[in-house]
Structure formats: C-alpha cells, structure tokens
Amino acid sequence: MTADITAPAPPIPWPDGKRCAVSFSFDMDADALIHIARPDDANTCVSTMSGMRYGPEIGVPRICDLFESYGLKVSFFVPAWCAEEHPQVIERMVEGGHEIAHHGYMHESPSRNTRDREAYWTVRALDSLERLTGKRPVGYRAPLYDYSQHTTAILAELGFRYESSLMGDDLPYVLRSRSGDLLELPVDWACDDWNQFCHLADIDFVMPIQSPRHAFDVYRAEFEGQYEIGGFWQIVWHPFLIGRAARMRYVRSFIEELLEKGDVWLTNCIAVADHVEGLIAAGNYTPRVDTMPIKSSAHRIPELAEDVEPLRG
Ligand SMILES: [Zn+2]
C-alpha cells in the first residue's frame, strides 16, 4: 500500500467539503516589460511589442469568454500602466466580475528599489487601479515574483489583505511584519507558463517553446500532488502566452477535467483569501506564520569563504 504524503500543515476545510482548491490567476503584463527593460529604444522593438500586446487585445477577452462560459471568475494581476494603456480590457474584466489585483506600476522590480521608491510606485499604482477599476485592490503580486525585504510592511501599511509571490508553503500562510500581517497565497514556478512558452529575444528571455501537451503534463502533475494532500494549487498564466488558440484548447480540457472530479473548488484569489481569513477568524484554521523579511542582511559565514569563493568561479 502506498503511504499518503503528509500535509505540511493542518489541511484547510474547503467550502462544501471540497478536497482541494485551484485558483486561476493571470498576470496581464502587456508590453510593460520591454519599456522598463529598454527605456531608450523599446519603440524600435515593434514585433516584440505586438506579441506582448496580444495579451490585452486577444488573450484577455478569450480567457474571460472561456471561464465565464463555465461560470468561473479569475484574478487578473495588472501593472497600473497597462490598465491605463488598455482601459477597454479593464472594463471587460470588471464586466465579467473578475478580480483585478495589483502588479506594480510598470512591472518594476521591488527588490532592486529602495524602500521609499517601492512605496512610491506601490501607492501610485494602487491609486491608478482604484480609479480605473472603481475598486481599491486588496491583493498583490510582485512583478517577476521579485518581492523585496520591505514589501510585506509596505502592503500591510496600505491595507492590502493578501499577496501572492512567495513559495514557502503549499497552503495559504501568514507573512508577519512589524507593520502587520498579510495572507500569502503561495505560487511556484511549475504552475507558471513563462518557462513553458516565453520567447522574447529583445529582452533576453529565450525559452524553447514547449508543446501545450508537455506544459499541461507539468500542470497536471502539480495539481495531482496538491489534490492528494488536500491542498491549494494556483495557476499563474500570462494572457499573451496562454491566450494563444492552441493553448486555450488545453485550458478548456483542463477545466473540464477538474470539474469532472467533482470535489475540486475552482476559484480565484480573492475568494480563497475571503474563505481562509474567515476560517482563521473563527479559529478553524491555524496557518503557518513566516516572519518577514526572511533575512534582514546577507548571511555570511566567514570561515566558509575560502571554500565557497572558488566555486563561484
Ligand atoms: Zn508580470
């Protein structure tokens, strides 16, 4: 008999006795990355820009149509600059009742900014998204998962309820800072489509493009692991990548596969946050707590230096 894999924390009671939760999230980056990576000549990268703008122009409406046909709501993480550039796509998301969450202003990297600059861009994007969506976002994902030592405190001070960039658990857990707590809805690179399909030579992301069949083998294996432990699994997809017609056929089959199981909660980030916060408040779930930042300074063991330095080449 095969032994079960032990859950790393007490399993969460999911709604309606479901065995596990699957959250669908999409990072709608449009062409922000190329403008931040190549501020002086991004305008000359016409083909790359067009491929990234496929996300808001073609991918998002296709994603909304598909998920809505199953009565499902998803979460879109949107850099505010992309929302300003593509207000029509924000309207489409709002119309479908989907969540719109914070993903930086122009996909800038929090960990390469000072605390003050990170706070400035976080507030600027928050105000812009609130103006464009009619709702103040309560969820955040760091661009490229590039979370900084200060992000938890900045978000807690601004009243965010959850964030979704870190990889420290299978189940939702708590990030604790001196400024307050945040719920973490963890991610993992294996649930992303960037490493399966992203091929952008102009900004040095050159992945060998996988077949959708291969990508969904990876996603299915990851889902099955979480299903076995009664856990939480989150998809992080990009409309300019997953929104291509060939890949959307596999998205449709995958949704049907999950629905057929009958005991999987297909949902989005804000619904998971609402549910888990309710359980914590009622004393029905005690999440693991990570104190942030994980390390406040570089952790060097001096006597190891002579062993480690040669390995760095
Ligand atoms: Zn992104």
Q: Is 285 within 8 Å of 231 (Cβ atoms)?
A: no
Q: Which fold has domain 15-312?
A: TIM Barrel (3.20.20)
Task: State the pLDDT confidence band at 206, using cuts at 50, 70 and 90.
Answer: confident
252-258-262 Cα angle (round to 5): 135
Tokens 């709501």 label which residue? 73
Which comes out higher in pLDDT, residue 206 or 180? 180
pLDDT reported for residue 5 = 65
Q: Say how many Å lie between the CA of residue 286 and the centre of ligand 1.
A: 31
Q: Say how many Å lie between the CA of residue 28 and the centre of ligand 1.
A: 7
Q: Say how many Å lie between the CA of residue 192 and the centre of ligand 1.
A: 11
Q: How many angstroms separate the Cα of 289 from the Cα of each of 8, 42, 46, 49, 160?
A: 13, 42, 46, 41, 17
Task: State the pLDDT confidence band at 10, using cuts at 50, 70 and 90.
Answer: very low
pLDDT higher than threshold 70 for residue 8:
no
Q: For 80-120, write each residue's pLDDT tens digit.
A: 999 999 999 999 999 999 999 999 999 999 999 999 999 99
Q: For 249-291, write each residue's pLDDT tens digit.
A: 999 999 999 999 999 999 999 999 999 999 999 999 999 999 9
pLDDT reported for residue 312 = 61
DSSP 145: G
Which pairing describes strands 99-102 and 289-291: parallel, antiparallel, or unpaired? unpaired
Task: State the pLDDT confidence band at 2, using cuts at 50, 70 and 90.
Answer: low
Q: Say how many Å lie between the CA of residue 236 and the centre of ligand 1.
A: 9
CB burial class (10 A; 0-12, 13-18, 19+) of residue 191?
buried
Q: Say how many Å lie between the CA of residue 150 and the centre of ligand 1.
A: 19
Mean pLDDT of the chain: 93
Domain boundaries of the chain, sorted by first residue: 15-312
Q: Say how many Å lie between the CA of residue 217 and the centre of ligand 1.
A: 23
